[in-house]
Amino acid sequence: MKRAAAVCGIGQTEFAKNIGRSEKRIAVEAIRLALDDAGLQISDVDGLVRFNIETSDEVDITGNLGIENLRYFGEVGWGGGAGCATITQAAMAVATGQAEVVVCWRARNRGSGGRPWAATGAGVPGHGQFSLPYGLVRPVDQIAMMARRHMFETGATEEHLGAVAVSFRAHALRNPLASMQKPMTLDDYLASRMVSEPLRKFDCCLESDGALAVVVTSVERARDLKQKPAVILAGAQGTGPEHTPMTNYHAPEFLKTASPYVAKELFARAGVKPADIDVAQFYDAFTPLVLLSMEEYGFCAKGEAGPLAAEGYLSWDGGKLPSNTSGGGLSEAYVHGFNLILEGVRQIRGTSTSQVAGAELSLVTSGAGVPTSAVILASD
């Protein structure tokens, strides 16, 4: 699959607290924008890949857009862990001849929607039955446990978490489409209210309405379209042994997520090393996930991520690894990390509002704490 497919089109709606339109409608809007960006027609589309929790399925999209012959469709589970896997599966479909033009999308009205964990008391199936009824109700509570353990094991501090939030806010201020347009200092971060100790308000991602879409086709076809191709150098999915999603507290290595398993496969398939990556988009539903990802994807040793973040390692302005350059889930929008994929593409195109000069390799990761995925995008 290496260099067989490329992202040729991207599209997104505006981000809002209440967008005022249904998830089905904004999904169609984002897909049409992505096709326009690529210079393709609806009649060109013959493949779709979605999140399995998407409210619009392939039947909805095919009918509402008028796709004439859908030859391939797929879906990926695990919420925030799914984003990059949709791109990988689209690339696999193109590489194996299952489809020629595949659209991946995520539409979510999270800002205006209800709380998905509000009915915990009604009985919980699956993995959640062992944690949700006992107080670990929200994702922030579950990640707070990981954050506290990471602090205990590595010496990471609240200031280190704050450095992540402050860096990404600075990037959002350069992005006119980002939700957060107010500057934030470390003092502002430390003054924000505690949500689930040790996590504060600004450690948490936004609650956004919005939709985004990506178009994948062969590298050869992408070269003849409107935009510079973002070549899919490699993609990987994975999980670890003895894994319990979001609450892996019983495991021998409390903090070990699926990410190191994905990272090992990803870099081997790409034939590159972490040091070769020019820019990264780390899944940032919560700030400690960024520190964990820095360590688990091999950019630094365990315990080094916090001090590096505090030194400006993640900053577009002089950092060694500029990351989440659109503002990410913390300051641009949170749509299960799908906006990170679009920003990864923009970095390869050279069109980001916080563009890394000469970016050739762009890493995008999906959610830590669940079975997850990642991709490396490259210049042609």
Please, what is the Cα angle at 313 between 240 and 81, to 5 degrees?
30
Instruction: Tell me whether residue 334 is one of the annotated catalytic residues.
Output: yes
Of 72, 283, 297, 313, the catalytic one is: 283
SS3 content of the chain, % helix, strand, coil (to 5): 40, 20, 45
Q: Pick the catalytic residue from 189, 261, 297, 334.
A: 334
Stated as kind and residue range, the H or E segment containing 236 is strand 230-238
Residues constituting the chain = 380
Among all chains, which residue has been given the structure tokens 């862990």?
Answer: 81
Which structure tokens are listed for 257?
A: 């997520």
Q: Is 72 a catalytic residue?
A: no
User: Alpha carbon of 213 to those of 25, 77, 99, 190, 370: distances in Å?
Assistant: 13, 17, 17, 35, 23
What are the b/e assignments for 327-354, b being 16+ CB within 10 Å?
bbbbbbbbbbbbbbbbbbbbbbbeebbb
Beta strands in 190-229 (DSSP E): 194-196, 199-200, 209-218
Q: Which of 94, 39, 31 is nearest to 60 (CA)?
A: 31
CA angle 323, 329, 332 (to 5 degrees): 85
Which residues are tagged catalytic? 283, 334
